[in-house]
Amino acid sequence: MPPRSPFAIPNFRYYWVARLTTNLGQSAMLLIVGWQVYNIARLTMSPAASAAQIGFVGLIQFLPLFLLTPVTGWVADHVDRRHIARVTTLLLVLCAAILAGFTWAGTMSLPVLFVVAGLLGVARAFSGPALGALAPNLVPREILPNAIALSSISWQAGMIGGPAIGGYLYAWQPASAYGASVGLFLVSFLCLMLIGPVPRPDRDRARHPIRQMIDGLSYVRTNRLVLGAITLDLFAVFLAGATALLPIYARDILAVGPEGLAQLGAAPAAGAALTALYFSFRPLRTEVGMKMLGAVMVFGGATIAFGLSRWMPLSLLALFVIGSADMFSVYVRQSLIQLYTPDAMRGRVGAVSQLTISASNELGDAQSGFLAALIGPVAAVVAGGAGAIAVTLLYAARFPELRRARSFDAPAEERPAAT
């Protein structure tokens, strides 16, 4: 009998703690990076030009993922995924240590922040496909949706605790926020070292590596359900990237300072974590496609509400709903992608998925920053929410496969081949 809970499997427990601590450290670090970029820029630049600097941070993080995606997916399918995660975690330790040192010395500058943002992009380019493809190797297929929900909880719990750690520690002693990230990344590295051997897909030695890289793109292109699920998130979150502008809202619109910024950063993650916790006990079973489309619509509506709000409690509530709706969509999308994709190709498909997620997040951050510089932050957020709703309606018509996805059980003709 397979275990009923992923936590009954020691390797999954180590994996879960590693993802939790990594996400705590990353979200704490990225929140303070955005805050420092905006405040350093405001010393010599206008609010519009400072908003554009936030856009540059997102763009710099996106470029490594864009350039390295074919390589990172192939690597995740041909190199021990545990080793990839361990090396990239050490790179995160280096990034946090650099930021802590410059902050402690009082010599932080925009070039330093931009260089570290690029290194973070490299680390995430390799770690994302490896960690995403590792999870299905740790648990039986029967409880994979539960494992995905629990893994999402570790991610969202990190997004809740990370901004609180970063914001409050930065308000107390700026360098301590980055120091905490160093410690969290070291805990993650230790947990990754404790994960024992896991099943690995058979290598295809007959085909050229470049041809195998192309295979991942081809699979996504020909499987319309996977293509629709991946690209819906790309366009919806790309347009409605309100969280990139939280430093502007905290400083210039809501006037709540770094402590308020910590609360704003944690609010969407709190909604997402509670939603993921619910799904870890009560997995979604029926009409998964239509419910995912509805969640993205709610995501867009809550983004509009946040953009228009000038009252901190309403802003926090809107961000909470944004996080909850986004987690609903992420849970359905990742379950569909993992269960419809052969294990031997999960790394490459995961790399494509990560590229679209990065495009929606980091490149979306760049779009939000540049658009805020052009038309103002409020108009940029409201327009993004409206765009997410429009895209969802378009996808509901363009990809009937999403509407027809009744459950996570793939039809026999669409099940991934055994490896």
Side chain identity at residue 39, one-letter code: N
Residue 419 included in any domain: no
pTM for this entry:
0.69
Nearest alpha carbon to residue 240 among 307, 293, 289: 307
Rg (CA), the chain: 20
Read off the CATH number of the domain in which 26 is found.
1.20.1250.20
- Is residue 1 assigned to a domain? no
Is the Cβ–Cβ distance between 226 and 353 less than 8 Å?
no
Number of domains within the chain: 1
Q: Compute the distance between CA of residue 386 and CA of residue 302 in angstroms, rounded to an integer.
A: 10
Domain-embedded: residue 149? yes
- Contact yes or no for 236/302 (Cβ under 8 A): no
User: Which backbone phi and psi does 351 adopt, to 5 degrees?
Assistant: -65, -40
- Which tokens is 195 given? 């994960």
Q: Count of CB atoms within 10 A of residue 7's CB? A: 15
C-alpha dihedral over 15, 18, 23, 26, to 10 degrees? -140
Round to whole Å and give the CA distance between 313 and 335.
33
Chain centroid to CA 323: 12
Model pLDDT, residue 348: 61
d(CA 332, CA 157): 19
pLDDT at 64: 83
- Nearest Cα neighbor of 327 from 291, 364, 286, 380 is 291
Residue 417: per-residue pLDDT: 46
Residue 126's closest CA among 59, 71, 186, 187?
Answer: 71
Containing domain of residue 250, as a range? 6-414
pLDDT by 10s per residue, the chain, length 419: 456 778 888 999 999 999 999 989 998 898 899 889 989 998 999 888 888 888 888 788 878 877 887 788 778 777 888 999 999 999 999 999 999 999 999 999 999 999 999 999 899 888 877 887 787 788 887 787 778 777 767 776 776 678 778 888 888 898 999 999 999 999 999 999 999 887 665 555 555 455 555 665 666 666 677 777 777 777 777 777 777 788 889 888 898 887 888 888 878 878 887 887 787 777 777 777 788 888 889 999 999 999 999 999 999 999 999 988 888 877 777 777 666 666 666 556 655 666 666 555 666 677 778 888 888 888 989 998 898 899 888 888 888 877 777 666 654 444 444 43
**102-123: b or e for each residue (b if 16 or more CB lie within 10 Å)?**
bbeeeebebebbbebbbbbbbb
CA distances from 116 to 58, 93, 293 (A): 12, 11, 36
pLDDT at 418: 40
Q: At what angle do helices 174-194 and 10-42 cross, to 10 degrees?
A: 160
Written as one letter, the residue type at 193 is M
Contact 273, 27 (CB under 8 A): no
**Any domain includes 308:** yes
- Strands of 207-264 (E only): list them: none
CA 298 to chain centroid, in Å, comes to 19
Element (H, E) at 19: helix 10-42
Nearest to 248 by CA among 30, 383, 51: 51
